[in-house]
Amino acid sequence: MSTKDKYLIIAAGGCGSRMDNETPKQYLEINGKPIIVWTLGIFKPFVETKNIVVVISKEHQAYWNEIIKYYPEFSHCKIVFGGSTRFHSIKAGLKFIPDNVLVAIHDAARPMASSNTIKSCFATATRIESAIPLINLSESVREKTGVASKSINRKNLRLVQTPQVFNSELIKEAYQQDYNELFTDDASVAEKHGQIIGITEGNIENIKITNPNDLKLASIILSSSSPSIGME
């Protein structure tokens, strides 16, 4: 593994409108614990708490205050207020990341990235300065064209997850670009800047919790005894 220090940015500024709940999804509880706490917990073996930047909405500060009230170990995280888009939020968080380190950027609503996925992302980024986890598609894919659609060969298609890990200097440079609506994740920002994106295998459980059905699935997975998710 790299001798470089490891840092983490948690993207936690979203409101989760598809969850149909007044509480932002990252603060909803699964099995008695807020999603964001599950997410922070899976990085404990890899990143010191003082090296974690949590990017939140300014309107959600009261939610975070409740988190550190009951989970004071996360009071050492750096809290940053995000911007109008994920791009602007991550850009704000990167201001607190030093040069010459590895930085993982992860969605707060992905509490089930496995230890193997996180370890592999850091290891791959050590070798080629960037890494993203991918998983195979298990269903057929079609491209919609107006009222019609056409089949697409899924052989070379993959689903992209987080954490996405980068050499901090390179990703900070990439985020100096102007915002582009095609920036759907950090890899797309880095790639537009000319960076080659390393890939590694993700884990199928590492879903982004978006709707109430995802909550039910996560509850089952996180209540299991499987050590691959980094259970405490």
The tens digit of pLDDT for each residue in 45-97 reads 999 999 999 999 999 999 999 999 999 999 999 999 999 999 999 999 999 99
Q: What is the pLDDT of residue 224?
A: 80
Q: Could you read off the pLDDT of 189-198 as tens digits, one per residue?
A: 999 999 999 9
Q: Could you tell me the pLDDT band of residue 3, with boundaries at 50, 70 and 90? A: confident
Is residue 118's pLDDT more than 80? yes
Q: What is the pLDDT of residue 227?
A: 46
Is residue 229's pLDDT more than 80? no
With beta carbons less than 8 A apart as the criterion, state whether 166 and 4 touch: no
Mean pLDDT (the chain) is: 93
- Map out the domains of the chain with their CATH numbers: 6-223 (3.90.550.10)
Range name among 31-40, 41-50, 140-149 with the lowest pLDDT average: 140-149
Strand, coil or helix: 66: helix
Is residue 225's pLDDT more than 60? no
Is residue 184's pLDDT more than 70? yes
- Two structure tokens written together for 214: 């995802």
Chain mean position to CA 18:
18
H or E element: which one contains 56? strand 52-56
What is the CB-side half-sphere exposure of residue 192 using CA atoms within 13 A?
17
| Between 15 and 227, the higher pLDDT residue | 15
Q: Could you tell me the pLDDT band of residue 230, with boundaries at 50, 70 and 90? A: low
- Amino acid (one-letter) located at 24: P
With beta carbons less than 8 A apart as the criterion, state whether 79 and 33 touch: no
Interatomic CA distance for residues 39 and 206, integer angstroms: 11
Q: What is the pLDDT of residue 126?
A: 97
Q: What is the DSSP letter of 87?
A: H
With beta carbons less than 8 A apart as the criterion, state whether 93 and 57 touch: no
Q: Could you read off the pLDDT of 198-219 as tens digits, one per residue?
A: 999 999 999 999 999 999 999 9
Q: Could you tell me the pLDDT band of residue 37, with boundaries at 50, 70 and 90? A: very high
Is residue 19's pLDDT more than 80? no
The pTM is what?
Answer: 0.93
Closest CA to 83 of 125, 55, 120: 55
Q: Could you tell me the pLDDT band of residue 232, with boundaries at 50, 70 and 90? A: very low
Q: What is the mean pLDDT of residues 1-16?
A: 84
Interatomic CA distance for residues 110 and 220, integer angstroms: 15
Q: What is the pLDDT of residue 18?
A: 67
Q: Could you tell me the pLDDT band of residue 231, with boundaries at 50, 70 and 90? A: very low
User: Which H, E and C letters describe the chain, residue by residue?
Assistant: CCCCCEEEEEEECCCCHHHCCCCCHHHCEECCEEHHHHHHHCCCCCCCHHHEEEEECHHHHHHHHHHHHHCHHHHHCEEEECCCCHHHHHHHHHCCCCCCCEEEEEECCCCCCCHHHHHHHHHHHHHHCEEEEEEECCCCEEEEECCEEEEECHHHCEEECCCEEEEHHHHHHHCCCCCCCCCCCHHHHHHHCCCCCCEEECCCCCCCCCCHHHHHHHHHHHCCCCHHHCCC
